[in-house]
Structure 1
Amino acid sequence: MKHARIRFEGEVHLVHVEEHNAVRLADGRLLAEEQVQWLPPATGSMFALGLNYADHAAELAFKPPTEPLAFIKSPGTYTGHNQATWRPDNVAYMHYECELVAVIGKPARNVKREDALQYLAGYTVCNDYAIRDYLENYYRPNLRVKNRDATTPVGPWIVDVADVPDPSNLKLRTWINGELRQEGSTSDMIFDIPYLIEYLSSFMTLQPGDMIATGTPEGLADVVPGDEVIVEVEGVGRLVNRIVSEAEFFSARKEA
């Protein structure tokens, strides 16, 4: 089953997603995908992983890490499916990152690897855009690289754990303007989801709605205003986003 958060006629609704990505409101109305505003399906903290794919680490000429390289993204960075993300003025390189995201479903502290999936609500997808110009340390990205307003599309929904029987063997793909530019597999993860839950919960309590973004494979490319970027994780979802200029993005925000 797929669970989503949407806005319709000014109200936020928690809905189930049906065939053809239609959603049904509590009053029974069935709405098409394009009739609603898709919101990030979870709003907790996001724990993101750097260099968590062996092929991506090799692409950047880095040795694979020996422990998770985790950093935190705040909810203000999230945006939803079919929404816009802005490219800052005067930057040379902004790239996408297609990622499988594990969503925590209940408080998790000192969880053992073999029990880890019992603490998940399910899985979603994110596109963890990065501004390469500001990247001083690949092992610990600073705030300007990863924590800009509305630069992390998340969604469109959360898929139940039971509906993704093997999260360690899913294809990831990214298209720019219809051209396939990135393709990989979660089998290339260095630290898998059970390990990450065990690791993070060993020193902090993970809360319902928190998310673990598990990294991206090789195949990154620059994106510019006007681009449509689609990231897809097999069996989980396809997340559509378009790039606009800084001026266009903040002008639209003021009008809203």
Structure 2
Amino acid sequence: MKLLRHGLPGTEKPALHDERGIVRDLSGVIADIDGATLSDEAVERLRRIDPATLPAVAPERVGPCVGRVGKFICVGLNYIDHARETGKEPPAEPILFMKATSAIVGPNDDIQISMMSLKTDWEVELGVVIGKRAKYLSKEHALAHVAGYCVVNDVSERAFQSERGGQWTKGKSHDTFGPIGPWLVTRDEVPDPQALQLWLDVDGVRRQTGTTANMIFDVAFLVSYISQFMTLEPGDLIATGTPPGVGMGIKPNPVFLKPGQSITLGIAGLGSQKQQTVEARN
């Protein structure tokens, strides 16, 4: 299934995207698409519903595909070519950092360029949404704890991230720096998360092309690994790293985002996003 949330920010309603491309409202069945509705049992109950019995809606806005995300965990330098384009060696273990959940927005919402920004950058990534509590998992059991997958744009301010001291979080957490969706595609529709094509364009120019087959640490390993350090709860989101082609890696002159630009990105089978960059507002 392809699950989504639609409506104004803060008042989104749950829905599904049926096989005919029609959005069907789920608000008469569940309150939201969040940790409380992402268990295998809850997803199976939704799967048994005939979509034709649900009201069709024409969303004015598609919101983040998961509500009330508890943790937004990110993995850095998880593609060899991306690590090298940043001038770093591929890591021996996953690099983990947190992105503020207040950065989460819908897939087509504007991206606000911070008032102090010098180097705002793009990163298309596979998002992994947890459906079952996970702690000290083995790799063999890890994917059974995944509810589904989504597209993430891990927008990053490189000067904040790397030139202002401390950890990466300050460069990753500005409002609107976490578009997710359009859909949460349930696990059964993604038999191999290591066989997905990713892409991203800026102003119509292809900047990133990649495949999850080139991850250094695959999804099952990442879920298992992260569960050794923190308990993963239903509704938590993991962004698994980006392929090469980010702005900071363009040689000889890096390219960064400015207000007034268009970003389009997507992952095969998981949908696409389109954002406009605007000046930040209070």
TM-score by length of structure 1 reads: 0.89
Summarize deviations over 1:46-86 as a string: whole Å, max 9, x none.
11011111010111121110011001122111011211111
What is residue 227 of structure 1 aligned with on the other side? 261
What is residue 36 of structure 1 aligned with on the other side? 61
Structure 1 residues 225 and 21, CA gap change in structure 2 (3 angstroms): farther
Provide the secondary structure at the position in 1 that maps to 2:141.
Answer: helix
On the 8 A contact 1:40/1:153 being kept in 2, the answer is no
Summarize deviations over 1:161-180 as a string: whole Å, max 9, x none.
11111111211100112221
On the 8 A contact 2:73/2:96 being kept in 1, the answer is yes
Structure 1 residues 10 and 117, CA gap change in structure 2 (3 angstroms): closer
On the 8 A contact 1:21/1:32 being kept in 2, the answer is no
Query: What pairs up with 1:1-256 in 2 under 5 angstroms?
Result: 1-7=1-7, 11-18=11-18, 21-26=21-26, 28-33=54-59, 35-42=60-67, 43-136=69-162, 141-221=167-247, 222-246=256-280, 249-250=281-282
CA–CA distance in structure 2, aligned partners of residues 135 and 62 of structure 1? 15
Provide the secondary structure at the position in 2 that maps to 1:106.
Answer: coil
Q: Structure 2: which amino acid aligns with 1:7?
A: G
> How many residue pairs end up in the alignment?
246
Provide the secondary structure at the position in 2 that maps to 1:197.
Answer: helix
Summarize deviations over 1:91-133 as a string: whole Å, max 9, x none.
3221100000110001001111011110010001110111111
What is residue 40 of structure 2 aligned with on the other side? none
Q: Structure 2: which amino acid aligns with 1:3?
A: L
Structure 1 residues 56 and 69, CA gap change in structure 2 (3 angstroms): same
Deviation at 1:243, TM superposition (A): 0.7
Deviation at 1:90, TM superposition (A): 4.3
| Segment of structure 1 superposing worse, 71-80 or 22-31 | 22-31
Provide the secondary structure at the position in 2 that maps to 1:124.
Answer: strand
Provide the secondary structure at the position in 2 that maps to 1:155.
Answer: coil
User: What is the root-mean-square deviation of aligned Cα atoms in Å?
Assistant: 2.1
Please, which runs of 5 or more residues in structure 2 have no aligned partner? 29-53, 248-255
Runs of 4 or more, structure 1, over 4 Å off, are 8-11
CA–CA distance in structure 1, aligned partners of residues 173 and 84 of structure 2? 25
Percent of aligned pairs sharing the same letter: 36
CA–CA distance in structure 2, aligned partners of residues 9 and 94 of structure 1? 24
Provide the secondary structure at the position in 2 that maps to 1:218.
Answer: coil
On the 8 A contact 2:124/2:199 being kept in 1, the answer is yes
Please, which runs of 5 or more residues in structure 1 have no aligned partner? 251-256
CA–CA distance in structure 1, aligned partners of residues 10 and 22 of structure 2? 18
CA–CA distance in structure 2, aligned partners of residues 192 and 23 of structure 1? 32
On the 8 A contact 2:100/2:169 being kept in 1, the answer is no
What is residue 254 of structure 1 aligned with on the other side? none
CA–CA distance in structure 1, aligned partners of residues 169 and 8 of structure 2? 32
Provide the secondary structure at the position in 2 that maps to 1:162.
Answer: helix
Provide the secondary structure at the position in 2 that maps to 1:168.
Answer: coil
CA–CA distance in structure 1, aligned partners of residues 179 and 9 of structure 2? 22
Structure holding more strand per residue = 1
CA–CA distance in structure 2, aligned partners of residues 128 and 9 of structure 1? 19
